[in-house]
Amino acid sequence: MTTTAATFSYADTSWPVLERTAAAHRRSWQMLAAPGEWWTGAERISIAAECRRASAMVDGLPDPGAGPATLPEAAVYAIHKLIGDLPNVTREWYDETISAEGMSDAHYIELLGVVVHVWSVDEFHRALEIELEPLPDPLPGEPTQIRPTGAKAHGSWPPTVWPDDLDERDADIYGGADRAANVRAAMSLHPDSVRWLSDLFDAHYLSWIEIQDVQEPFRVLTRPQRELVAARVSALNECFY
């Protein structure tokens, strides 16, 4: 099911959801609906829908149905692998995936960006025990197929772009910093995914500016308490970082 009215009102929960969080979720759905560099808006919604199908399978829930567009077989398999079998993602599997029909390293990173962000927003809803927000209707348009010219091998499987190699159009993705942590640069082959990640990171955790601030900004949990929760969740999810 899709909709044009992704309001994220959080009227069905007694938990106090910050407006900055709801606003970030609305922006996330707007980005999800738009065509990217390598996938159309309809394909991105299909990636999101397949992400939900994979999550339902893991949790033993009814199949929520496919999205509006047909995806390459390798893309569907990649989504289910990332959701249901992440600890067994290997370099060999990655190389086979990006070599498959309809895929490339850039297709994979944009797909990964969609999966990461849809799953993050959906998990927020699951944690509050409220219904998932309906997926938005896709927007028309074709992918731009613009690949960052500064993408290079930096030790990770896909190429990444470091601050010194950013194209002018992408100069903002690290906020002007002269270096970027690997966790921020991981999806830099698709710069919009880095922007998207930073926006949700700010809303769900702390902005990069707040992380460097010694003052505690309007949060119920202290910084050490938040770090403990984050570390525990990362360990349970077998996060590489």
pLDDT in tens, the chain (241 residues): 455 444 899 988 888 898 989 999 999 999 999 999 999 999 999 999 999 999 999 888 888 888 888 999 999 999 999 999 988 899 999 999 999 999 999 999 999 999 999 999 999 999 999 999 999 999 999 999 999 999 999 889 999 999 999 999 999 998 888 888 888 899 999 999 999 988 998 888 766 656 655 555 556 777 788 788 888 888 887 776 6
Give the angle 122-127-62 at the CA atoms, nearest 5°: 55
Q: Following CA atoms 225, 218, 183, 77 in sequence, which dihedral angle do they give, to the nearest 10 degrees? A: 90
Which residue(s) pair with 2 in the sheet? 135
Reported pTM: 0.88
CB 65 within 8 A of CB 53: yes
